[in-house]
């Protein structure tokens, strides 16, 4: 919402400075977005006269002008404007002036060999409008040498404030003034609300054809004007409209825009001579009907849209935009003015469906002063005749009336109860009355009727807010939140703690934490088993971000690709975040995924660098599961990893039948989809799949440490290459029995000395006796059992 200082002061009688008002506005809930004082910005710009304008010797489109600036010798300026000519008056910016429209500080210089000391300006260069066809031409009597801004009435600062959706009343300057007056920043000047007096019967009347939906247009007033002229607006009006970004068009159009900003009241003006018949029908559009709007676009209407039209069709998209066919134009002499209340939801729906935004719609959908069709008619009609002459008709009205009056019960202690602010009852009442509320005293407190322009007020809490904000939020007491316990409970429960712990642990393992978007491209969703229609956004910001992700891996892979493009191939990264298996709350999982791309370390002389492989991913997955309370020894592995992994170099970590994590080398097709050049491995698990450990209390089980010497024995087995190492380890473990304290597979070998189709696996076991040192015979017995079971279960032969 934009207005100027003087415009505000039309409604507010005050001796406060603009600065004081600008300080006050945000504390009333009217956030100041910008203040532009054009007189300050344009201070160096003066009125000048072009004494001569001759063709530039070296450029067809340039002229060399001698400019009188009112002081000293004439200044030479090279000018490209086609209208620059001797004898004209314009606006001159001297060297050193900052020209806002081109964001440039002028310097003395030469243009194509001719000296140029300043600039003759267009409106755009001074940011007055988009006009840039030529330089500004001022009237012949403009005083040369005088500052331009005050001469042009530009010394009126422009204020822009943000209006929250509840404050439709402040979408007019008067509403802003009313708030300031209530807060003690002056007095609201009276508005001439004398009733409208017409002199003849309107040749146009309303007819509501709403099929029972009369609430769509509860009140509409029309006034016809005869013998009006439609010249350019008076200068004061044109200046104000220009200042707030409305282009002046003609007096009749400008009056409707002016009233909209002044009083927050949109209007629509019809040319009576263009209306077919004597009736304007307020009705729902016909399905498929087209409508040519004032913005020169054609819209296809549907049957739930409220319109106003004559016998020939639609003339106004109610509350959204008027029509081209019957709109006023320069030659209009008979005008019919519409002052209406439309259903805000209907206006909002129509605007949204047509993607049609307008200042009128913005106001209608937020709710207007419910009594305006009656109370503002006189003021508006007098404004029209005072500028455009002519006579106004009697008003024609329709509609069943707006049901806007509400009573809200309030007690003076409600303010303290909700806000902690203590304020005497009479002061509270005064604030409400200043804002236009009617306050009646009842046995228990007050009965408050909000004014017709405050449709947002619907309960005691709203009234408390009005009192508190006008009194000032600075008066809110500062109270510490009462403690519930001296030493608070943890803020997170066991499940909520897990992501925090996982993140720390994975960083400790050398993986960088990433946060990536929850959505991705359909192709990638598809590759990772997702992409269901129910999870595809209807209105994505781009196709690349259109599907809710089924896995966090694709985003991480994309990230590895981006870092590779920046020259960093080696990349180890993880994310803990949501993935979506469906659109229900129970379909959301918290995934933990990690990738490693390239090498394990930078090139360095210790030889730590090696290509990442599937066992890096397996280790990451086991570590992550460990953080979640799953012991590594309790895990099995199977080969059922999803198909985006390499079929022969991937696996799933399971506990019993429960699949907990998948890991592996990514499928070469996936790697190439993401353009990854290095070896690429990854893992993923869903935290929700890993049951929470039963709460056991902090005490650990008692540790028993053996006093006896542990012994180790090594075994090298030869077995079929396709037997899983885990099977052999399980056999060895089982045979070694209860004394086994450690088992390591320390060598895997295939090649020379080993038959084709076979492999050698070397295992070391550590036996820790509990009761007495092991004898050679006891060790021998266990070794024999290991060898026997390895042979029986895995066909493994002890290597000679």
Residues 328-357 that bind another protein (CB under 8 A): 344-345, 348-349, 352
DSSP string, 138-178: B-TT--TTSBHHHHTT--S-EEEEE--TT-GGGGSHHHHHH
Binding to another protein (CB under 8 A) within 78-137 occurs at: none
Judged by CB, which is closer to another protein: 36, or 512? 512
**How far is residue 624's CA from residue 617's CA, in Å, rounded to a whole number?**
10
Shortest Cβ 441–another protein spacing (Å): 22
Binding to another protein (CB under 8 A) within 533-592 occurs at: 533-542, 545, 548, 556, 559, 562-563, 566, 568, 571-573, 577-578, 580, 583-585, 587-588
Within 13 Å and on the Cβ side, how many CA atoms surround 692? 10
Q: Which of 492, 543, 721, 788 binds another protein (CB under 8 A)?
A: 492
Binding to another protein (CB under 8 A) within 605-634 occurs at: 605-606, 608
Is 510 near another protein (CB under 8 A)?
Answer: yes
Binding to another protein (CB under 8 A) within 462-481 occurs at: 462, 464-465, 468-469, 473-474, 476-481
Residues 6+ apart with CB under 8 A from 542: none
Shortest Cβ 688–another protein spacing (Å): 12
Element (H, E) at 503: helix 494-508
Is 494 near another protein (CB under 8 A)?
Answer: no
Judged by CB, which is closer to another protein: 588, or 654? 588
Judged by CB, which is closer to another protein: 81, or 470? 470
Applying CB under 8 A, the span of 410-418, 431-439, 703-711, 725-733 interacting with another protein comes to: 410-418
Applying CB under 8 A, the span of 296-304, 509-517, 659-667, 736-744 interacting with another protein comes to: 509-517
Judged by CB, which is closer to another protein: 509, or 740? 509
| Distances from the Cα of 678 to the Cα of 433, 569, 595, 797, angstroms | 74, 7, 12, 38
Q: Which of 139, 211, 424, 602 binds another protein (CB under 8 A)?
A: 602
* Residue located via tokens 């009727």: 449
* Residue located via tokens 């009705």: 283
Q: What are phi and psi of 775, to 5 degrees?
A: -85, 165
**How far is residue 323's CA from residue 294's CA, in Å, rounded to a whole number?**
5
Judged by CB, which is closer to another protein: 513, or 727? 513
Q: Which of 226, 513, 526, 613 binds another protein (CB under 8 A)?
A: 513
Shortest Cβ 469–another protein spacing (Å): 4
Provide the Cα torsion 100, 101, 102, 106; round to 10°. -50
Q: Which of 518, 741, 766, 768 binds another protein (CB under 8 A)?
A: 518
Judged by CB, which is closer to another protein: 18, or 745? 18
Judged by CB, which is closer to another protein: 311, or 537? 537
**How far is residue 745's CA from residue 199's CA, in Å, rounded to a whole number?**
107
Applying CB under 8 A, the span of 72-80, 371-379, 515-523, 739-747 interacting with another protein comes to: 515-523
Q: Do 235 and 255 meet the contact criterion of CB atoms below 8 Å apart?
A: no
Burial of 563 (0-12, 13-18, 19+ CB in 10 A): middle
Is 29 near another protein (CB under 8 A)?
Answer: yes
Element (H, E) at 191: none
Within 13 Å and on the Cβ side, how many CA atoms surround 157? 16
Judged by CB, which is closer to another protein: 160, or 226? 160
**How far is residue 680's CA from residue 694's CA, in Å, rounded to a whole number?**
36
Shortest Cβ 375–another protein spacing (Å): 24
Binding to another protein (CB under 8 A) within 421-450 occurs at: 421
Judged by CB, which is closer to another protein: 53, or 579? 579
Q: Do 634 and 647 meet the contact criterion of CB atoms below 8 Å apart?
A: no
Is 595 near another protein (CB under 8 A)?
Answer: no
**How far is residue 728's CA from residue 759's CA, in Å, rounded to a whole number?**
12
Shortest Cβ 179–another protein spacing (Å): 10
Quickly count: other Cβ atoms within 10 Å of residue 246's Cβ. 18
Shortest Cβ 228–another protein spacing (Å): 35
Shortest Cβ 495–another protein spacing (Å): 9
Judged by CB, which is closer to another protein: 250, or 564? 564
Judged by CB, which is closer to another protein: 312, or 583? 583
Is 33 near another protein (CB under 8 A)?
Answer: no
Judged by CB, which is closer to another protein: 330, or 541? 541
Binding to another protein (CB under 8 A) within 360-379 occurs at: 365-366
Size of interface with another protein, in residues (CB under 8 A): 102
The partner residues of 577 in beta bridges, in order of sequence, read 591
Applying CB under 8 A, the span of 81-89, 332-340, 419-427, 664-672 interacting with another protein comes to: 419-427
Judged by CB, which is closer to another protein: 87, or 578? 578
The partner residues of 314 in beta bridges, in order of sequence, read 309
Judged by CB, which is closer to another protein: 8, or 464? 464
Q: Measuring CA to CA, which residue among 330, 219, 215 is closest to residue 269?
A: 330
E runs forming strands in 357-434: 391-392, 396-398, 408-410
Applying CB under 8 A, the span of 115-123, 239-247, 597-605, 774-782 interacting with another protein comes to: 597-605
Q: Which of 20, 23, 31, 638 binds another protein (CB under 8 A)?
A: 31
Full 3-state SS string of 519-557: EECHHHHHHCCCCCHHHECCCCCCHHHCEECCCCHHHHH
Shortest Cβ 269–another protein spacing (Å): 26
**How far is residue 630's CA from residue 655's CA, in Å, rounded to a whole number?**
9
* Residue located via tokens 């029509």: 323
Q: Do 282 and 206 meet the contact criterion of CB atoms below 8 Å apart?
A: yes
Shortest Cβ 480–another protein spacing (Å): 5
Q: Which of 418, 743, 785, 787 binds another protein (CB under 8 A)?
A: 418
The partner residues of 66 in beta bridges, in order of sequence, read 52, 76
Judged by CB, which is closer to another protein: 350, or 449? 350
Shortest Cβ 497–another protein spacing (Å): 9
The angle, 0 to 180 degrees and rounded to 10, between the axes of the packed helices 251-263 and 235-243 is 60
Q: Do 280 and 315 meet the contact criterion of CB atoms below 8 Å apart?
A: yes
Pairing, β 588-597 against β 2-4: unpaired
Judged by CB, which is closer to another protein: 529, or 578? 578
Burial of 333 (0-12, 13-18, 19+ CB in 10 A): middle
Applying CB under 8 A, the span of 141-149, 252-260, 389-397, 489-497 interacting with another protein comes to: 489-497
The partner residues of 208 in beta bridges, in order of sequence, read 282
Shortest Cβ 299–another protein spacing (Å): 19
**How far is residue 424's CA from residue 412's CA, in Å, rounded to a whole number?**
8
Binding to another protein (CB under 8 A) within 162-181 occurs at: 164-167
Shortest Cβ 165–another protein spacing (Å): 4
Shortest Cβ 3–another protein spacing (Å): 20
Q: Which of 294, 461, 716, 754 binds another protein (CB under 8 A)?
A: 461
**How far is residue 376's CA from residue 687's CA, in Å, rounded to a whole number?**
64
Q: Do 137 and 83 meet the contact criterion of CB atoms below 8 Å apart?
A: yes
The partner residues of 596 in beta bridges, in order of sequence, read 572, 681
């Amino acid at each position: 919402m934009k207005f100027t200082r003087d415009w505000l002061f039309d409604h507010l009688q005050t001796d406060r400075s603009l600065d004081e008002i600008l300080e006050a506005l945000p504390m009333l809930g009217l956030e100041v977005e910008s203040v532009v004082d054009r007189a300050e910005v344009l201070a160096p710009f003066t009125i000048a006269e072009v004494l001569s304008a001759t063709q530039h010797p070296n450029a067809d489109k340039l002229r060399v002008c001698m400019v009188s600036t009112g002081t000293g010798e004439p200044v030479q300026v090279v000018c490209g404007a086609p209208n620059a000519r001797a004898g004209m008056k314009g606006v001159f910016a001297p060297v050193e002036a900052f020209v806002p429209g081109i964001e440039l500080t002028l310097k003395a210089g030469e243009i194509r060999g001719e000296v140029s000391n300043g600039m003759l300006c267009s409106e755009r260069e001074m940011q007055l409008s988009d006009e840039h066809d030529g330089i500004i031409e001022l009237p012949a009597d403009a005083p040369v040498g005088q500052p331009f801004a005050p001469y042009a009435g530009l010394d009126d600062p422009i204020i822009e404030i943000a209006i929250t959706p509840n404050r439709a009343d402040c979408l007019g300057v008067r509403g802003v003034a009313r708030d300031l007056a209530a807060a003690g920043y002056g007095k609201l000047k009276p508005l001439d609300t004398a009733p409208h007096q017409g002199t003849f019967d309107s040749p146009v009347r309303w007819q509501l054809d709403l099929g029972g939906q009369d609430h769509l247009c509860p009140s509409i007033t029309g006034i016809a004007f005869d013998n009006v002229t439609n010249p350019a607006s008076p200068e004061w009006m044109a200046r104000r409209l220009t200042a707030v970004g409305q282009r002046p068009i003609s007096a009749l159009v400008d009056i409707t825009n002016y009233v909209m900003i002044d009083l927050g009241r949109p209007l629509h003006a019809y040319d009576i001579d263009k209306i077919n018949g004597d009736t304007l029908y307020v009705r729902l559009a016909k399905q498929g009907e087209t409508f040519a709007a004032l913005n020169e676009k054609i819209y296809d209407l549907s049957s739930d849209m409220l319109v106003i039209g004559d016998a020939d069709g639609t003339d106004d998209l109610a509350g959204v935009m008027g029509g081209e066919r019957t709109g006023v134009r320069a030659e209009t002499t008979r005008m019919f003015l519409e002052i209406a209340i439309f259903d805000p939801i209907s206006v909002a729906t129509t605007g949204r469906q047509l993607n049609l935004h307008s200042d009128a719609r913005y106001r209608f959908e937020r709710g207007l002063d419910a009594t305006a069709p009656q109370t503002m008619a006189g003021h508006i009609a007098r404004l029209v005749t005072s500028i455009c002459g002519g006579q106004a008709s009697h008003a024609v009205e329709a509609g069943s009336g707006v049901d806007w009056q509400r009573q809200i019960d309030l007690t003076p202690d409600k303010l303290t109860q909700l806000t902690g602010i203590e304020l005497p009852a009479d002061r509270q009442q005064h604030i409400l009355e200043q804002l236009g509320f009617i306050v009646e005293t009842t046995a228990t407190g007050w009965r408050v009727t909000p004014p017709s322009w405050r449709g947002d007020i619907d309960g005691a809490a709203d009234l408390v807010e009005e009192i508190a904000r006008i009194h000032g939020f600075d008066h809110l007491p500062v109270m510490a939140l009462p403690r519930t316990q001296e030493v608070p409970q943890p803020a997170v429960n066991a499940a909520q703690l897990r992501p925090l712990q996982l993140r720390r642990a994975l960083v400790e393992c050398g993986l960088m934490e990433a946060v990536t978007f929850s959505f991705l491209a359909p192709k990638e969703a598809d590759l990772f088993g997702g992409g269901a229609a129910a999870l595809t956004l209807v209105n994505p910001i781009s196709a690349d971000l259109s599907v809710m992700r089924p896995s966090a891996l694709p985003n991480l892979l994309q990230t590895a690709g981006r870092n590779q493009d920046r020259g960093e191939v080696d990349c180890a990264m993880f994310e803990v975040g949501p993935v979506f298996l469906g659109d229900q709350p129970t379909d959301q999982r918290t995934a933990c995924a990690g990738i490693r791309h390239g090498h394990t370390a930078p090139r360095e002389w210790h030889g730590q660098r090696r290509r990442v492989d599937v066992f890096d991913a397996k280790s990451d997955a086991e570590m992550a599961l460990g953080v979640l309370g799953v012991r590594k020894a309790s895990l099995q592995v199977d080969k059922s990893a999803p198909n985006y992994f390499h079929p022969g170099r991937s696996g799933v970590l399971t506990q019993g039948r429960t699949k907990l994590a998948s890991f592996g080398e990514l499928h070469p097709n996936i790697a190439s989809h993401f353009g990854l050049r290095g070896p690429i491995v990854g893992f993923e698990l869903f935290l929700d799949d890993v049951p929470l450990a039963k709460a056991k209390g902090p005490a650990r089980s008692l540790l028993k440490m053996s006093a006896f010497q542990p012994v180790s024995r090594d075994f090298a087995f030869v077995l079929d290459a396709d037997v899983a190492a885990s099977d052999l380890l399980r056999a060895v473990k089982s045979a070694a029995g209860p004394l086994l304290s450690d088992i390591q597979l320390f060598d895997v070998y295939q090649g020379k000395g080993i038959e084709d189709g076979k492999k050698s696996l070397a295992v070391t076991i550590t036996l820790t006796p509990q009761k007495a040192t092991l004898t050679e015979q006891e060790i021998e017995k266990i070794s024999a059992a290991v060898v026997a079971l390895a042979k029986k279960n895995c066909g493994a032969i002890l290597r000679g």
